[in-house]
Structure 1
Amino acid sequence: MTKPLLRYLLSVFLIATIVLPAVLSADDQVPTRRALLIGIDGLRADALKAAKTPHIDALIESGAFTENTQILGERYQENDTISGPGWSSFLTGVWADKHGVHDNSFTGKNYTEYPHFFHYVKVQFPQAKTHSFVDWSPIDEHIVSDADVHKVYPAHGHEEYTKQDREVTRDAVKTLREDDCHVVMAYLGAVDETGHRYGFHPSVSAYTTAIERVDAQVGLMIRAMRSRPNFDAEDWLVVISTDHGGQGLGHGGGHSIDEIRTTFLIVSGQPAKVGKIEEQTYLVDVPVTVLTHVGVKIDPEWELDGQARGLK
């Protein structure tokens, strides 16, 4: 048994059986701050600028933003530039040499030692309500854990992803409007599928149209979040990013291609530091930013590779 695995198992055991019941009151078991994380697969930053996206633009204007988020780290760059390793880094906060996913086969996955960030929310706040809505099935099948609600809407091809993005949005909106949710993750896959069919480039009208459609869906989620009766007191943070960009009809093998490996990060809401994020940002920063905002104390023994970005 590896040392990280042993530490992980011991921490779970101690927290579940001894520590939490003794030290946490009912109020301590839920966070006082909340977060909405939106992942838009295969969205190039330059295409985001070219498309008409009033809802995302408003989040950028009221938050922190960078177009220099790297999907590969300085320490390790051996994984392919595709969704399996991309969403694994996005959701675990560690690079592929730790989470073990180098391609879309998920062979070698190591989410036991380096789990989905929902796990860490639950470590700190056992009664927090976590929700995941995705239409790329492998995320739900392999990565998601410690979710009170996790729904998957399987899709294959451009038309199905367009339809299922609407279903993801519908259920995320209902949850944000009606449920006592603390962390919500919504994944939208149609932009990536459109890029694979028509091309990943801001000059491709089908691609920018798909981005504009997703912007409208983001707008519905934001409106639902802001309609909550106690919204003003809940201190919501909205984080939006992607797993990779694209070039031509794909994004594999993009280690030296800026349009594939360089993406964007939006951190928006009252807790955000408004303006350009000057520090270098990475894909693994996404979940650590959410965890930090929600109030999770990052334990060095978790060996997370990311850092919180864009917060005051």
Structure 2
Amino acid sequence: MPRLFSLAIVALLVAGSSLSAAEKSKHVLLLGIDGCRFDALTKAKTPNLDKLRENGIYSPTALILGDRYLKNDTVSGPGWGSINTGVWADKHNVQDNGFKEPKFDKYPHFFHYVKKSMPEAKTVSIINWTPIAQYIVSSADVSIDTKKGTSYAEADDDAAAAAIVELAKDDGPTAMMLYLGEVDEAGHAHGFHPTVPEYIAAIEHVDTLVGSVLEAIEKRTDQQWLIVVTSDHGGSGKGHGGGHKNPDILNSFLIVSGEAAKRGKFEKQVYIVDAVPTLLTYLGVEIDEAWELDGHAVGLK
């Protein structure tokens, strides 16, 4: 075969490969596991979360408080407020679980920015801690609260994951947020520690749900997903309030996973507020300084 002809074939194959990659639409999933300690996560049998970590970059010490503001309590309200908006509690003004005067009109859920940049994008939030749906979520085409009883439990997480699986399979939303709460519930009931069997069992159950979500996503070969996994706090004993000086509470974790993610372990300090700008940057949303985001895009190639 003439050399020029073979080179032409190679060029066409390379061009075809690039075109296939370019044709894939971009999608993001923010996966929140309430009250999950990283040391317990690594002790538990979690093949699906392990897979996400191996296919991306992670930090076992993503801080739930920033350097500028340390006054909010180390509980779910401020944590999920910061994770979903990319700003700290002095801006979104959720200091505890009371949600007295939130400022999510000025510092909105990240779906707002997705819709602003891509009006045709479909956004989906599936949670089972009601304040997230009631106060934080906005600009969602679908917002489902699967909470059934007085506290989030295994059944609520099962329903949340099942809803995400169906939506990912049928519609392939541009941006999804999935919250799973039973790990936190197990921590409050039995203890937040890798030596607590019930706490480990809850993490392992959540991992099976994550597996079902990943299976649905992976079937969409026409799509390229970035998945960011984090938690709102750790825990110590059977609680996590007032944990401003307790590393077991202050340290969450951050996993950025997908073809567009770097590999390995973060060398620099990362924070839970980095989740939103990372997701937005991957989607091609240009971040405006006027949004006053505290986080930064991390872990992308």
Q: Does TM, normalized by the shorter one, top 0.5?
A: yes
TM-score (norm 1): 0.87
Structure 1 residue corresponding to 2:127, chosen from 111, 134, 137: 134
Q: Which runs of 5+ in 1 are unaligned?
A: 1-30
Look up the SS of the partner of 1:131 in the other structure.
Answer: strand
Alignment-derived partner of residue 260 in structure 2: 271
For the residue of structure 1 that corresponds to 2:195, the secondary structure is coil
Deviation string for 1:132-160 (max 9, x for gaps)?
000000000000000000000124466x5
Instruction: Note the C-alpha offset of 1:126.
Output: 0.5
Q: Where does residue 68 of structure 1 map in the other structure? A: 61
1:242/1:209 Cα in 2 relative to 1: closer, same or farther (>3 Å)? same
Tell me what 2:85 maps to: 92
Alignment of 1:158-173 (within 5 A): 161-173=153-165
2:198 aligned with 1:236: no
Match of 1:248 among 237, 251, 254: 237
Question: For residues 198 and 235 of structure 1, what CA distance do their matches in structure 2 show?
Answer: 39
Q: Where does residue 195 of structure 2 map in the other structure?
A: 203
Measure, in 2, the Cα distance between the counterparts of 1:282 and 1:311.
Answer: 15
1:1-312 mapped onto 2 (5 Å cutoff): 32-156=25-149, 161-228=153-220, 231=221, 233-312=222-301
Paired residue type of 2:189: R
Partner of 2:6: none
Q: Return the letter of the residue paired with 1:243.
A: D
**Structure 1 CA distance, aligned partners of 2:101 and 2:143?**
23
Q: Runs of 5+ in structure 2 lacking a partner?
A: 1-23
Cα displacement (A) at 1:76: 0.4
Q: CA-to-partner distance for each residue in 1:31-55, whole Å, 9 max, x for gaps?
A: 9411111100000010001100011
Please say if residues 136 and 155 of structure 1, whose CA atoms lie closer than 8 Å, have aligned partners that are also in contact: no
Post-superposition Cα deviations, 1:227-286, rounded to whole Å, max 9, x if no partner, equal 12xx2x422111110000000000000000000011111111100001111121011001
- Taking the aligned partners of 1:284 and 1:254, their CA distance within structure 2 comes to 18
CA–CA distance in structure 2, aligned partners of residues 298 and 106 of structure 1: 27
Task: Calculate the aligned-residue CA RMSD, in Å.
Answer: 1.2
1:180 positional shift: 3.5
> Is the partner of 2:153 in helix, strand or coil?
helix
CA–CA distance in structure 1, aligned partners of residues 53 and 296 of structure 2? 20
Q: Are the counterparts in 2 of residues 200 and 247 from structure 1 also a CA contact under 8 Å?
A: yes
CA distance in 2, matches of 1:194, 1:77: 27
Mapped contact 1:133–1:150 kept (Cα < 8 A):
yes
Runs of 4+ deviating beyond 4 Å: 155-158
Query: % of aligned pairs identical?
Result: 50
Aligned-pair CA distance for 1:161: 1.4
Partner of 1:14: none
Deviations 1:22-74 (A, max 9, x none): xxxxxxxxx94111111000000100011000111111111101111000000
2:4 corresponds to? none
Contact kept in structure 2, 1:284 and 1:306, CA below 8 Å: yes
Equivalenced residue count is 278
Q: Secondary structure at the match of 1:281?
A: coil
Letter in 2 for 1:144: V
